[in-house]
Chain A
Amino acid sequence: MPREHEPPTPSYDTDVLRATIEPGDEHRLVLVGELDLHGITAFTRAVGDLLHDRPARVAVDLTRVSFMDSAGLKALLGARRDLTATGAEFRLGAASDPVRRVIKLAGLVDVLLPA
């Protein structure tokens, strides 16, 4: 949780998805909304800023993502690829049911949601 006198956490918004970065030992990227072709703009902008900071650990919080399709999945995999390329440890934090279903449909449970 960001403390009051700290600068506001960076946040990116389309009218479909909001992406917020919470810095810390493990940077958290919190997504709220629907991760589709329109929404991924906010997501990829946030990832771009994250890459700039070269964090050691990143977790993506998808508990409040009410929808994800193949565009969102592609963006998620791209973020994972780009962040791990800079040496960061990347994981998905909690994921909502719609997100889990799509990850399962794509056969990527072991890759994105290891037990």
Chain B
Amino acid sequence: MSISGEIPTVLGESAAASGADVRRATVLVVDDVEAHRYVVGTWLRREGYAVVEAATGTEALDAVASQTVDIVTLDVHLPDMSGMEVCERIKSTPRTAALPILHLSGTAVDAADRNEGLRRGADAYLVEPVESDELIATINALLRYSAARRRAVRIAGHLRRLHTATLGVSGATTLEGLVSAVAEGTSTVFARPAAVVLNVGNRSVAGSARPGEPAQQSRCPAIVAHETAAAVSADGVILSSALSDAPVVFADVDAYTGSPLSDRAGTVLGAVLVAADQPDTAEEANENQLILDQLAHAVSISIGNLRAFELEHRISLTLQRSLLPDRLIAPTGLDIAYRYEAAAVDTEVGGDFYEVFELDGGEVMVAVGDVVGHSLQAAIVMAELRNGLRAYALDGHAPTAILERLDRMLRRFHNTVTATVCLALLDVATGTALVANAGHISPLLIPGGADARGADARPATFVEPHGPLLGMGLPAPKPVTVDLASGDTLLLVTDGLLERRSEIIDIGLDRMVAIAADWDGDDLDHLCDRLLADVGPGPEAADDIALLAVRLLPATMEPEGAPLLLDQSADETSGGSEGREEGPATDRHRVQNFERSSREIARARGFVTGALEDWGFGAEAASFELMVSELVSNALVHGSGDISVEVSRADGQVRLEVADDGGSTSPHIENKAMGGWGLQFVDELADRWGSEKRGERTLVWVVRRMTET
């Protein structure tokens, strides 16, 4: 760590600075002869020193122990012990080891005596008779040296503590940690209460610490950081009254000095404050400022590190989210619910996955998998397995063949990794499911409908058997055929749900069966929530959890509104407005495609209002104009592919359908997509409306009864 600015050299300081110290010094005059004490005392008092007298060695030692003494003039010849012994004792006591001692002697005067005195610790040895000038000059010199040495020791102490504080500051990985490190470090360095406030990114944190105590911190408004920094930038002492809004003030501190804190670019982000109730000497204030500047410098480096750290963290989270299993769309004829929870504290994604997608022939692939391990490593392999599954399934491979290929992939590219995967290929029309299970928890078949209730209720059963897990080169499991009746639910879970530290997994399995039996068969999401709450391990989860429930919808459940189009036979002579129709528009159904461009919305409106007017429903045109505008705008913003608009009439009602390729968005209209009002408008203007998937198209339909006029 380099020191910028100048630290005054130990000995070479101005006389003026040292004069201020010297003049206030207290001299202890030790001599058994009162006349001597009187003479020396008078000289000293004339020079402005304070004088304390002692006649014996014992008195001298008492005085040094009980009072503040800055220098001692010490006669060698004392009644109770030699002055040299007194000197040794003073110098060997840690508290007074640096006290300058000047021997004065009229008797022990030869070179041998002088050498011995100096050897035993005295700083100077004057032989009587002594001129007052020489005595004063010697005392001044000794005091100057002593003051400088004290300062050097103090500075060294500060620098040592500053070094420790800087280590704490540069090691901080969060804004809160940095604020604590600065507050604690500063209070330790100066041995006074210290406070800091910092605004980084969009957070402001204030902290304060007393020496030796851990820091306290809290969030604060950003304006506090800026105002505190502004108060500190003006030189000098800041009164606590100027910081009235800051949460950093100490109740017992009236004044502070401080330093602004900024980042590498020089933008001021806050300030650090140190209590300054006892006025420092000019040089102490100077030193303190240099130390604060060093701290501020370390903080600005640390802020740069913090920002880099947070950016990395955000990038990492974004990447992880891209590995998470996708949101699933329920294929036609199925109801689905799913849950996912990663176990690791520091990542959001783990090695479990679930999948539901349609194949070209209309069958549905349902899958659950678990890569051994968790956190990011497992997630990466999980993503590869998922993609492999999708590719092989779309190519038309049967479940067993898919599992063989996934096993080969694992062995080839991650040969130390194993995984369990359970596949179920569903024919929605017939309810037949082909289940192939490689080492995974067996799927649970939960009967629905009438069979599920009452004394003769069919119990939930596990689909068995299963084969070995993937990644070991072992033969893939043969598929098992399961017949699903309408309302039956297939439940697939990963073992993270069932395992608890102190139990065997069978207990978890039993719990799962109990919850399934207890479930009222109504809401799949409700089943998932209960499983997580009652079976799941809760906060002590050690493994990732994935849950997937798939229910075969009864074939009689038609989407609302469909009978309208099929009901060609109903005659329209009942509607009054239709009787008034005179033009050539005897058609009942029109359809037109529109390109994906926002200028087409107006054309779509014209198309629909034209049809309504031709059919004599001019009064309803405005309502349909608004509805088609909303639906086509929604398809443009959230869908894909060409947009088709169909309008048809039957039985006194008009039906509007807007379809596009949907893609990955849910077939349901999202509230936010239409700015919050589009959905509301459609809901208010339509008698009934809904959405459905038809093959690859996603469509939204609305029906409104024509009013008779």
Query: Footprint of B on A, CB under 8 Å?
Result: 14-16, 34, 36-39, 67, 69-71, 73-74, 98, 101-102, 105-106
22 A-B residue pairs with CB within 8 Å: A34-B602, A36-B602, A37-B601, A38-B598, A38-B599, A67-B602, A67-B625, A67-B626, A70-B677, A70-B678, A71-B629, A71-B675, A71-B678, A74-B675, A74-B677, A101-B622, A102-B626, A102-B681, A105-B677, A105-B681, A106-B680, A106-B681
Q: CA of A74 to CA of B515 in the docked complex: distance in angstroms?
A: 47
Contacts of A74 in B (CB 8 A): 675-677
Shortest Cβ-Cβ A-B pairs, 10 listed: A38-B598, A74-B675, A70-B677, A70-B678, A69-B629, A37-B633, A37-B598, A38-B599, A70-B675, A106-B677
- Interface centre among B598, B636, B674, B684, by most chain A C-beta atoms within 10 angstroms, is B598
Residues in A whose Cβ lies below 8 Å from that of B630 = 69-70
Which of A67, A101, A105, A106 is the one whose CB lies under 8 Å from B629?
Answer: A67
Q: Taking the complex as formed, is B605 at the interface, i.e. its CB lies under 8 A from any CB of chain A?
A: yes
Contact with A along B626-658 (1 / 0, CB 8 A): 100110010011000000000000000000000
- B676 to chain A: which residues have CB within 8 Å? 70, 74
Complex-state Cα separation, A98 to B625, whole angstroms: 10
A-contact bits for B583-603, CB 8 A (1 contact / 0 none): 000000000000000110110
CB neighbours (8 Å) of B598 from chain A are 36-38
Given A15-B599, A16-B602, A38-B599: A70 and B674 within 8 A (CB)? yes
Give the A-B contact count at a CB cut-off of 8 A.
62
| A67-B625, A69-B630, A105-B684 given; 10 more Cβ-contact pairs under 8 Å | A14-B599, A15-B599, A38-B602, A67-B602, A67-B626, A69-B681, A70-B630, A70-B675, A105-B680, A106-B677
Q: Which residues of B contact A (CB under 8 A)?
A: 598-599, 601-602, 605, 622, 625-626, 629-630, 633, 636-637, 674-678, 680-681, 684-685
Complex: A16 Cα to B605 Cα, angstroms: 12
Residues of A within 8 A of B637 (CB): 37
A69 in contact with B626 (CB, 8 Å): yes
Chain B residues near A98 (CB, 8 Å)?
Answer: 622
* Residues of chain B contacted by A39 (CB below 8 angstroms): 602
Name the A residues within 8 Å of B622 (CB-CB): 98, 101
CB-defined contacts of A106 to chain B, threshold 8 Å: 677, 680-681
Complex interface: chain B residues within 8 A of A15 (CB): 599
> What is the minimal beta-carbon distance from A38 to any residue of chain B, in angstroms?
4
Partner of B675, one of A38, A73, A101, A105: A73
CA A17 to CA B601, docked complex, whole Å: 13
Which residue of B has the minimal Cβ distance to A17?
A: B602
**Pair B684/A69 contact, Cβ less than 8 Å:** no
| Closest chain B residue, CB of each to CB of A71 | B633
**Cα-based distance from A38 to B604 in the complex (angstroms):** 13
Q: Which residues of B contact A37 (CB under 8 A)?
A: 598, 601, 633, 636-637
- Identity of the chain A residue whose Cβ is nearest the Cβ of B633 in the assembled complex: A37
A67 to B681, CA, bound (A): 14
**Distance A39 CA – B680 CA, assembled complex (angstroms):** 21
- The answer on a CB contact under 8 Å between A36 and B601 is yes
B residues near A105, Cβ cutoff 8 Å: 677, 680-681, 684-685
Taking the nearest CB of chain B, how far is it from the CB of A98, in angstroms? Answer: 7
Measured between beta carbons, the chain B residues less than 8 angstroms from A70 are 630, 633, 674-678, 681
Query: A69 to B599, Cβ gap below 8 A?
Result: no
Chain A residue nearest to B629 (CB atoms) is A69
Neighbouring A residues of B675 by C-beta, 8 Å = 70-71, 73-74
The closest CB in chain A to the CB of B637 belongs to A37
Minimum Cβ distance to chain A for residue B422 (Å)? 45
CB distance from B680 to the nearest CB of A (A): 7
Chain A min CB distance to B629 (Å): 4
Most B CB contacts (10 A, CB to CB) among A14, A34, A69 go to A69
Q: Once bound together, how far apart are the Cα atoms of A37 and B631, in whole Å?
A: 12
